Amino acid sequence: MKEWEESSLYTGLSGYTKDELKEIAKTLSMTGYTKFKKEDLIPYLAKNILTEYMLGSYFMNAYNREIKFFENCMEKVISQNEKEQALAGYFLEAGYLFIGEGNEYIVPTEVKELYQKVNTEGFQKARKRHQLLVGYCFAAVNLYAVVSVKKVVEIFNEQNTAKTHIEELLLAVDKETGQEYMWEADPAFWGKTSPILFPFIGKLEGAAFWH
């Protein structure tokens, strides 16, 4: 069999340094990994990466072109090149894709099997909905610069039959950014909340923002 057909996640992770493994854990918002030695960190990572929840959550945020690229890597040999590098990066940094000795992209066997299990019709429908909601958030920010969540909900509901609400929209943004902002505002600290969407895409001049 070809290398890309028989590779395991454990083998792929073993090729990384401890610092690189820690970066994968950080990307996946894992906790408790800093205390491990490399030989213990590898199985810890593999166990978490190969859960339906982790894979489903991470792939939920992948763009359609990234998903298509990943699925192509599952089916055939794709060599590393500049054109594919941007698409591969999302999965490489999370340990769902590796680069083989022949400079080809490799999807570990266990990852293939788990993805096929997770990628149900229901999951595809949920991911399509999620991408639509996030797309509206980014479009609104690009148009208005700073916009309230309520306004985005109004725009969305005016243009779509399947309506949304503030809670669903905030959850969609949380999944996209990996952060919770005011989603679970603790009343001990937040007497009132007025969620405002203003994610930045790119760099800020002088690393500062004024309003």
Residue 196 pLDDT: 46
Residue 23 pLDDT: 96
Residue 179 pLDDT: 45
The pTM of this model reads 0.75
Give the span between the Cα atoms of 184 and 191, in whole angstroms: 12
**CB neighbourhood size of 193 (10 A):** 11
Residue 102 pLDDT: 87
Q: Which of 10, 13, 15 is nearest to 25 (CA)?
A: 13
Residue 166 pLDDT: 86
Residue 46 pLDDT: 94
Residue 182 pLDDT: 35
Residue 172 pLDDT: 78
Per-residue pLDDT of the chain (211 residues; tens, 9 = 90+): 444 344 689 999 999 999 999 999 999 999 999 999 999 999 999 999 999 999 999 999 898 999 999 999 999 888 887 778 889 999 999 999 999 888 899 999 999 999 999 999 999 999 999 989 988 888 888 888 888 888 889 999 999 999 999 888 887 776 555 544 333 444 544 455 444 444 443 344 454 545 4
E strand residue ranges, the chain: 98-99, 105-106, 147-148, 196-197
